[in-house]
Amino acid sequence: METIRIGFLGCGNIGCGVYRLLQTHGEAMRANEGVAFDIGAILVRDVAKKRSWAIPASLLTDRAEDVLDNPDIAIVMEFMGGEQPAASYMIRALKAGKSIVTANKMALATHWDEIVSAARESGAGLYYEASVCGAIPIIRAINDSLQANRVTSLMGIINGTTNYILSRMSSEGADYARVLADAQRLGLAEPDPTADVEGYDAAYKLSILSTLAFHRHVPVDCVYREGITGISAIDVACGKEFGLTLKLLAVAKEENGVIQARVHPTFVPDHHPLASVSDAFNAVYVNGDACGEMMFYGRGAGDMPTASALVSDLIKAAKAKRHELPAVHSAAERMADDWTCVHFVRMMAKDEPGVLSKVAGQFADEGVSIASMVQKGRCNSDGRVQLVFLTHRASERSIRSALARIDGDLASELHIIRVENE
Ligand code: HSE
């Protein structure tokens, strides 16, 4: 059996997880998969740093060329994270004919064309199961298992940090800031949580997923993005009264050749399979015209779940007679700048006769039909009361136009959350 020499770019917790799996499962991989690996070099920033798994010092280097220009290394595993230098290193390795196995959604989503072109030109392999939803084999499912379908939509909880925060806000009625602080203390949110809580991480992942699902490139800057920082305990509580659970959803749909890709806080009915996905778990709910609905569920982050996907890709790369690239025919010519769904609208309205009918009139003038309405709590010291509307399906544009027509004197703090109920 040939032993394949590999190199690592980075060796934080995920790299240590990969090293650990190769050590502990190496014998089983030889017996079950007929592949054997040997690590040639590991690029790190600081060779003296203490790591979570004992890595022989002789493998560590701080010179990228020891990995990228080493002719004996056939497969490069990248887990440095971040956009650069990871993207340039991957392109350089691919151009040199080395296959890449990566967990890096940011580099891949922001440099998709260059990275895929480099792989296509050299014939080297490009594997990135770990870049979306950690251990969940969603890339493999879309590329290798659902080919006989036209995927019509996918909706995912693809960021564990925000799902943890929203789950606790829901179960405890807690405020965003308190739960975020707890998540940071527990290591479930970064000291700077922006990438997760503002939806950037989910947008990178959705760009990759929707590109593969619809076979047309969906650039990350075409993904509508809204995070969870504006969500309050009152939104979560009001949703509950309507039988709705709040999630940060990544939604991608193709309707009449137009693709919509969006990440935003979203209510789903309590009985929807995504509503029961709690804590830091991830799930992707896919709808295909032949397979119908299916849901992929599991751990979307963490060193060992991510290492599981990386080592699976490593084995796939090692066993491939010819490396396959996804069929992405062109850039999406048309991305939706509007979409239709049910909307949850919350506002502080003056508690006076006639206000409700004036607000309802603005919705009516934009063709938005109201399905239900509740008044929450009592009047505040400004004589205002919380009103919550649930609309029938309406376009985002018409909802925004209706809200723009509402005089601030009549109602303020207007706030919308989309509802996906299909
Ligand atoms: N921070 C991400 C999450 C994991 O919370 O899901 C890596 O994408």
Task: Kindly report, residue by residue over 56-84, the tens digit of the pLDDT.
Answer: 999 999 999 999 999 999 999 999 999 99
Average pLDDT score, the chain: 96
Cα of 44 to ligand 1 centre, how many Å? Answer: 22
Name the residue with the closest Cα to ligand 1, atom 2. 159
In a domain, 335, yes or no: no
Whether residue 205 lies in the annotated active site: yes
Mutate to test the pocket of ligand 1, among 13, 83, 133, 161 (most ligand atoms within 8 A of CB): 161
- Do both 55 and 152 map to the same domain? no
* Residue from 129, 315, 316 nearest 212 by CA: 129
User: Which structural domain range is residue 73 located in?
Assistant: 3-127
Q: Which amino acid is at 65?
A: E
pLDDT in tens, 364-404: 999 999 999 998 877 888 889 999 999 999 999 999 999 99
Q: Are residues 389 and 369 in the same domain?
A: yes
**Shortest-distance atom of ligand 1 to CA 282:** 6
Average pLDDT over residues 124-128: 98
How many angstroms separate the Cα of 244 from the Cα of each of 173, 256, 344? 14, 29, 10
**Cα of 132 to ligand 1 centre, how many Å?**
9
Ligand 1 atom at minimum distance from 161 CA = 5
| Cα 159 to averaged position of ligand 1 atoms, centre (Å) | 5
pLDDT at 331: 72
Q: Which atom of ligand 1 has the smallest separation from the CA of 163?
A: 5
Last residue of a domain, one of 127, 155, 177: 127
Examine the fold and report which residue of 299, 327, 362 is the final residue of a domain before the chain moves on.
299
Longest Cα–Cα distance of the chain, Å, equals 83
Q: Is the pLDDT of residue 422 over 80?
A: no
Name the residue at shortest CA distance from atom 4 of ligand 1: 301
Query: The domain spanning residue 186 has which CATH number?
Result: 3.30.360.10
45 in the same domain as 85: yes
Locate 140 and state its tokens.
């493999």
Where residue 58 sits, what CATH number does that domain have? Answer: 3.40.50.720
401, part of any domain = yes
Together in a domain, 261 and 183: yes
What's the rounded Cα separation, in Å, for the pair 220 and 137?
Answer: 21
Residues 6+ apart with CB under 8 A from 286: 141, 142, 146, 151, 153, 154, 213, 293, 294, 295, 296
Instruction: Tell me which of 159, 167, 228, 299 to substitute to probe ligand 1's pocket, judged by most ligand atoms within 8 Å of the beta carbon.
Output: 159
* Phi/psi of residue 114, nearest 5 degrees: -65, -40
Question: Both 96 and 220 in a single domain?
Answer: no
User: Ligand 1 centroid vs 253 CA: distance in angstroms?
Assistant: 23
Q: Which two tokens stand for residue 398?
A: 């018409």
Q: Which atom of ligand 1 is nearest to the CA of 188?
A: 5
How far, in Å, is the centroid of ligand 1 from the Cα of 334? 29
Whether residue 95 is contained in a domain is answered as yes
pLDDT for 337: 87
**pLDDT average, residue stretch 310-323:** 97
Number of compact structural domains in the chain: 3
User: What confidence tens digit (pLDDT) does each residue in 196-249 have?
Assistant: 999 999 999 999 999 999 999 999 999 999 999 999 999 999 999 999 999 999
What is the reported pLDDT for 333? 67
* Catalytic member of 50, 95, 98, 205: 205
Distance 231 CA to ligand 1 centre (A): 19
- Note whether 166 and 246 are within 8 A (CB): yes
What pLDDT, on a 0 to 100 scale, did the predictor assign at position 395?
96
CATH code: domain of residue 370: 3.30.70.260
CA of 134 to the centre of ligand 1 (A): 8
* CA–CA separation, 110 and 363 (whole Å): 39
CA 215-97-27 angle, to 5 degrees, is 90
Q: Which atom of ligand 1 is nearest to the CA of 201?
A: 8
Domain boundary among 98, 127, 156: 127
**Residue 345 in this model has a pLDDT that exceeds 90:** yes
Cβ of 337: how many Cβ atoms within 10 Å? Answer: 11
Claim to verify: residue 115 and residue 169 sit in the same structural domain: no
Q: Where are the alpha helices (DSSP H) in 135-189?
A: 138-140, 160-172, 176-185
Question: What does the block give as tokens for 50?
Answer: 């203490």
Of 180, 196, 297, the residue with max ligand 1 atoms within 8 A of its CB, to mutate for a pocket test, comes to 196
Please choose, from the candidates 115, 131, 326, the residue with its C-alpha nearest in 3D space to the C-alpha of residue 211.
Answer: 326
For the whole model, what pTM was predicted? 0.96
Question: Are 10 and 114 found together in one domain?
Answer: yes
Rounded CA separation 258/199 (Å): 22
List, chain by chain if needed, residues with CB within 6 Å of any ligand 1 atom: 159-161, 196, 201, 300-301
- Using alpha carbons, select from 234, 315, 243 the residue that is nearest to residue 33: 315
Q: In angstroms, how far is CA 226 from the centroid of its own chain?
A: 13
* Residue 186 counted as domain residue: yes
> Measured from the CA of 105, which atom of ligand 1 is nearest?
8
Tens of pLDDT, residue by residue over 257-302, are 899 999 999 999 999 999 999 999 999 999 999 999 999 999 999 9
Count Cβ neighbours within 10 Å for each residue of 351-388 and write b for 16 or more, e otherwise.
beeebbebbbebbeebebebeeeeeeeeeeeeebbbbb
- On whether both 110 and 161 belong to a single domain, the answer is no
Same domain, 292 and 349: no
Instruction: Examine the domain organization and report whether 290 and 354 are in the same domain.
Output: no
Partners of residue 100 on adjacent β-strands? 76, 126
Give, using CA atoms, the residue closest to atom 7 of ligand 1: 301
219 shares its domain with 149: yes
* Same domain, residue pair 236 and 373: no
